[in-house]
Amino acid sequence: MKLLVIVFLFIFSTGCKRESLNTIEEKEVEIAKFILNKLDLQYYPSFSDLLGVEIDFDQEKIKVYNPTDYYSYIELESFEVHISLKDLIKIDSIVKTISCNELENPQAGYALDGMHLETTFYFADGSILNNSPGNSSKKIYNVLKSEVLEIVMKYNKSSNNEIIIEKIRKYDEDVPKSVYESIKKQ
């Protein structure tokens, strides 16, 4: 009889935990009032392949595409897939930390040679803001573009895309440092 009670209590407690996890996930969905309907980032590394990423918060999708018809060294394989709520919340939380000044004046200073970024924010209130942090962006844009690339890699299944993304990551890390070094020497 004791064994039966213990088994019943175990099953009951396990069921309660599952139910509370489902309730937490449902609450996250209710709380997730996104500031954006869409976010479009276009990565333009010098002398390398381009990459466009669109995150659709309404449709919960991420789309990877080539932003131009120009020649590519490596053929980008476009794709569109559903994105997890957790990833949407992560991007939304970064966008919410961008100040009005950083939205209106996204460049940190004089443009340097390197990764050029174009951004378009489609806000939930219907407004659209297109800005160009360029290749000398304020720090929050570096966080945003790095996190978006991380999420793209999570959903990517193409080895070509992986090569392009890795080149962008490496270029973005290496080039600005070398440019800053050359400026310091002058």
The per-residue pLDDT for range 84-104, each reduced to its tens digit, is 999 999 999 999 999 999 999
Is the pLDDT score of 108 beyond 70?
A: yes
Mean pLDDT (whole number) for 4-17: 46
Contact 149, 173 (CB under 8 A): no
DSSP 78: -
Gyration radius (Cα) of the chain, Å:
21
pLDDT number for residue 18? 44
> Taking the CB of residue 32, how many other CB atoms lie within 10 A of it?
14
* The CATH number of domain 36-185, selected from 1.10.760, 1.20.120, 3.30.70, 3.30.1560: 3.30.1560
pTM of the model: 0.75
Is the pLDDT score of 179 beyond 70?
A: no
pLDDT number for residue 33? 87
CA atoms within 13 A on the CB side of 21: 6
Query: CA nearest 84: which of 22, 155, 162?
Result: 155
- What is the tens place of the pLDDT at every residue in 131-174? 998 888 888 998 999 999 999 999 999 999 999 999 888 865 65
Query: CA nearest 151: which of 66, 84, 59, 68?
Result: 84
Mean pLDDT (whole number) for 47-56: 91
Mean pLDDT (whole number) for 24-42: 75
Query: CA nearest 40: which of 63, 22, 20, 59?
Result: 63
The set of residues, in sequence order, having a beta carbon less than 8 Å from that of 134 and lying 6+ positions away, is 106, 107, 111, 116, 117
What integer best gives the mean pLDDT of the chain?
80
